[in-house]
Chains A and B, each alone.
Chain A
Amino acid sequence: MRPYRRQLMVLLPLLGVVALVAQIAGVGTTEQSNPKIPKAKTLAIVPGGSVPDITSTTLGSASVKAGEGDVVRMRATAKVRVAKLASKQVAQVVCGIRYSRDGDASWTLGTPYETVQLTKKHPSETVSISRTFDAPAKDRYRARVACHVSAPQSRVKVTATGSVTTKIGLPDGAAVPVA
């Protein structure tokens, strides 16, 4: 064995140990060495619940202040995954946006929602929902992306991560409302 090979055999493991220590210490080579990964939540089971409601599991929330007539844009994404499912079993998951305004708890325009089916073959799905509305008054508007398992009622565990954003203004390319 040549001498430099012996040196390498010593240096390489040492280099590995140094790299490991650096990784643990957060001295990474990239700026996001410790990215914040949202923790998946286990979704509530709401038998037959066909739209998201108070008992659904909230995955993310956002709020925005808007003046009267401002266009509020909401965009929600939820990634749902079922862990164990029998081969012929189907888990039905309902996701949607629950939105509200602080000044009037009764205000609503309807509930945006999507229903997805999870199977053993397709155990995960991503749901994206975008909605816009004209703010009826100057107020703070809150949006939550929420999901629940609507069927079956037992022996199913569905986890999900999700987020929602709220922005003000007409989307690009929109027609301009005429007063």
Chain B
Amino acid sequence: MLPASHLAGSSTNPPATVVRALSTFLLALVVSLVGAATSHAADTLTTDSGYTVETGACGQLGQSDQNGVYYTMCGAAIRRWDINGTRLADITLPSSLLNARDVAPSPDGAYLYVSQGTASPARLNRQANGSYTLDATWRLAQFTYWNTKWTPIGWALQTDGRGDIYVSNGSYWTGAAVQTSIAKYHPDGSFVTAFGDYGTEPGNWIVNMDVTVSRDGRRVYVGENCGTACDYADPNYSASRVTRYDFNAGGTYRFSRIISAQGPMDGNKFPRCTSAGATHSSYSLAMDYAENLYVTSTTCGMIQMFDTDEDPAKDVFVKTVATYADPATASGIVGVKNHYLSVDWAGRITAHEWTRRFIPKTIKVPTLPLPALAPLPEPDTTAPVVSAITLPATTSKQTVDVTIAATDDVAVTEMQLAREDGTWGPWQPFAKTVAYALSDGYGAKGVYVRVRDMAGNESNAVYKTVSYAADGGDGGAAPVGDKADPVVSAVSVPVLTATRDVSVTITATDDTGVTLLRLANEDGNWSAWKTFAAVTPWQLSAGNGAKAVYVQVRDGAGRESNTMMARSSVQPDAPAQPPAGGAPDATPPVLSKLELPAETTAQTITANLTATDDVGVAQVRFANEDGTWAGWQTWAASKQWKLTDGYGAKLVYAQVRDAVGNESAVLNARTSFAKTAQAAGPTDAADPALTSVTLPATTAVRGITVTLAATDDIGVTQVRFANEDGEWGAWQTYATGVTQQLTAGTGFKVVYAQVRDAAGRESNVLFARTQVTA
């Protein structure tokens, strides 16, 4: 026997969904009209002592917005109460919205989402005068589940405190072929995720009914009509499942547990009506602000209350709020049915068909405005950015204020500072301005700052300098007469060097005289201070490639200069260095001509070059058409160069540079590498072109005639073939029809062809297919 609750819209295979829905509505309406004065003389409504009961209630499904205004669907109108339980004006549904059962508000109540059963939910928009009108453009997007696109429909929906929408898709038997997941949407109607589906396994349901969501959107509860089977006589019958899903960091939801009683209980094979926490036909469920969950046990004529918690394991059955017993049903498993309930924040329960409202004797409502909801735990992968740091340009005190401007998509939470030596201090909470002690000693100082967010994403580092100088008033260490730091104004090292040992030329000044200097390579490890000299020897770091040399000087008072850096590059083929002194050579040479022979029968050719430089051209280098430069070689106006293998047109690049590495522009020139010199007649200046290769479509024999078409400025002389293995055969005399042997076996075959001219210039490669049929 089917549970009697199916009367309100039973069967997973409705013959006509719309008719079914309409009959459901009419039946519910009739029930609601007669419910209060039910003629069952022996029916008894038992209510928990913590409640008072009002009659004349009307409201199927609904919920509160984030101001505590409670909305519930009553026929063609939405009834409203404010957070204190004062009735507000009803909202009349547009006539185009028929048979709506559920209403879910946006957090501020500006939008009301209304279920339409077999049609997708609609949205009503609040107008300036407080009325609501149908939004003709808003709709929920289709969603893909198991590679099929579905349009969200169903009788039940819910919003969370962020405004996201949860549709119990296909709820209340909207159609046999409907997908039955909980589909989550953003307020703009964009799809977020879906979870749960039809099935007997935990986490699924046979028929999904109502859905309710915690305010933070992290807990979702779904009611089920039948358990694993709908018929009591079915050996697999179980009580209905109230299933909990929890938010999964990353945006999805995962099944946590079934909170309604399941399995053998109280000596029965499955929980009966009176078993603690049992629900039979959980048509509707709702939460109050304290996150108590109320569930209809419709078949039993009961309303069950659960206490829910962030921790799924702490969800517990609390009590039965009300029982409407119907002794006429002797089995004891059925009562006066109520399919629809909704609850406001204070826990006032509207039981639609019972036409009752259960009012808690102790009313507790939160104080508005509510605290903001914490963001759902999504992985934060965006690093913060330090846009600027501000320091004083000069200071006479070692501790300076550092002001930091930094932003992040979530929050800049920590920062880290370092002095000019780059050794980071500890991470500490981010502050826009901090007092920071510069390194000891007067002179140019540096401060690095970087920040990170709580997820650990680190920003860029920003570096600023400040001049730290003593003044007459603070008893600084500088001797009388020494008023200024020394200044390094120029540092030069060879731009190119074949060895690590270089000379560093330093220009530095001071009011009392520069006395010491120190140097560092790119690793920043300073040498010891040594006597200043305008030209000092230094050894670059090991290895070829780009190098850096840092220089700092000091005066007799111990005042330190700024730090200046110069770059060099160690290259084994670097030209000999010009003598030190004089103005730096910043003028690149000019390569004005590169001449190659028009045609050559030798792979190595003579390249004639013309180049000039203000100091002197030191080196030249070449590359063939692949652009890969050979090493630099000593400059000469005439150089030997080897072309690439194979006859044909060739391209040669050349470039020159001077002794300090200034490089010229690149020139190129062409030549023709020919097998045989053109003793007389026209010069062969072009490769031949193979324009077509034709094979018979099918062939019964391996030996076929290949039909060729090719052109050349002088004449095509030879051809060669390859089969699908790509192995070229020997060059043979060219003709428009040439025989080629295909590979063994039947099936599709490929023939490649290439031609060349008498000078050895080779053409492009073409291929054609044929099929050996026998």
Contacts and interface: CB of A to CB of B under 8 A. Distances in A.
A50 B417 contact: no
A116 to B, nearest CB: 13
A47 interface: yes
Contacts of A132: 413-414, 427-429
A174 B426 contact: yes
Contacts of B264: none
Given A106-B374, A110-B410, A55 B310 contact: no
B252 to A, nearest CB: 6
Interface in A121-179: 129-134, 170-178
A171 B426 CA distance: 7
Contact of A106 (B252, B310, B373, B380): B373
B456 A50 contact: no
B455 interface: yes
Contact of A53 (B248, B380, B433): B248
Contacts of B436: 175-176
A170 B414 CA distance: 12
Interface residues of A, number: 37
Interface string A24-51: 0000000000000000000000111111
Interface residues of A: mostly helix, strand, loop or mixed? loop
A111 B254 contact: no
B474 interface: no
B375 interface: yes
Interface residues of B, number: 42
Contact of A47 (B246, B254, B379, B427): B254
A111 B380 contact: yes
A112 B377 CA distance: 11
Interface in A44-81: 46-55, 71
A110 B457 CA distance: 11
A175 B453 contact: no
Given A171-B427, A174-B426, A113 B455 contact: yes
Given A132-B414, A177-B433, A110 B427 contact: no
A55 to B, nearest CB: 6
Interface residues of B: mostly helix, strand, loop or mixed? loop
B371 A104 contact: yes
Given A55-B254, A105-B374, A110 B454 contact: yes
Which of B380, B428, B434 has the most C-beta atoms of chain A within 10 angstroms of its own C-beta?
B428
A108 interface: yes
B428 A171 contact: yes
B402 A111 contact: no
A110 B380 CA distance: 8
A109 B454 contact: yes
Contacts of A109: 410-411, 413, 454
Which of A50, A129, A170, A172 has the most C-beta atoms of chain B within 10 angstroms of its own C-beta?
A50
A33 to B, nearest CB: 37
B374 A49 contact: no
A174 B371 CA distance: 33
Contact of B247 (A53, A71, A131): A53
Contacts of A177: 429, 431, 433-435
Given A48-B250, A53-B247, A111 B455 contact: yes
A112 B426 contact: no
B378 interface: yes
B193 to A, nearest CB: 11
B636 to A, nearest CB: 58
B585 interface: no
Which of B410, B425, B429, B435 has the most C-beta atoms of chain A within 10 angstroms of its own C-beta?
B429
Interface in B586-617: none
Nearest to A130: B427
B435 A176 contact: yes
Nearest to A49: B249
Given A46-B249, A178-B434, A114 B456 contact: yes
Nearest to A170: B428
Contact of B428 (A47, A113, A129, A175): A175
Given A174-B428, A175-B402, A48 B413 contact: no
A174 B218 CA distance: 38
A65 to B, nearest CB: 17
B453 A110 contact: yes
Nearest to A174: B428
Contacts of B375: 108
A49 B21 CA distance: 40
A53 B246 CA distance: 10
A33 B216 CA distance: 49
Nearest to A171: B426
Nearest to A94: B249
B433 to A, nearest CB: 4
A129 B427 CA distance: 12
A174 B401 contact: no
Given A51-B379, A175-B402, A108 B374 contact: yes
Contacts of A53: 247-249, 377
Contacts of B374: 105-108
A177 B411 CA distance: 18
Contact of A51 (B378, B402, B413, B428): B378
Given A51-B378, A175-B402, A71 B429 contact: yes
B16 interface: no
Contacts of B379: 50-51, 113
A112 B456 contact: yes
Interface string B421-453: 000011111010111100000000000000001
Contact of B250 (A50, A106, A112, A134): A50
A129 B426 CA distance: 13
A172 B426 contact: yes
Contact of A111 (B414, B425, B454): B454
Interface string B374-399: 11011110000000000000000000
Interface string A90-107: 000000000000001111
A64 to B, nearest CB: 15
A51 B410 contact: no
A92 to B, nearest CB: 13
Contacts of B410: 109-110
Contacts of B429: 71, 132-134, 177
Which of B417, B453, B454 has the most C-beta atoms of chain A within 10 angstroms of its own C-beta?
B454
A11 B106 CA distance: 86
B310 A54 contact: yes
Given A49-B248, A173-B426, A177-B435, 12 more contacts: A46-B254, A48-B248, A50-B250, A50-B378, A50-B379, A52-B249, A54-B310, A109-B410, A109-B411, A111-B380, A131-B414, A175-B436
22 contacts: A46-B249, A47-B248, A50-B250, A51-B377, A54-B311, A106-B216, A106-B371, A109-B411, A110-B410, A111-B249, A113-B379, A114-B456, A130-B427, A131-B414, A131-B454, A132-B413, A133-B414, A133-B429, A177-B429, A177-B433, A178-B431, A178-B435
The 3 closest A-B pairs by CB, nearest first: A110-B454, A177-B431, A175-B434
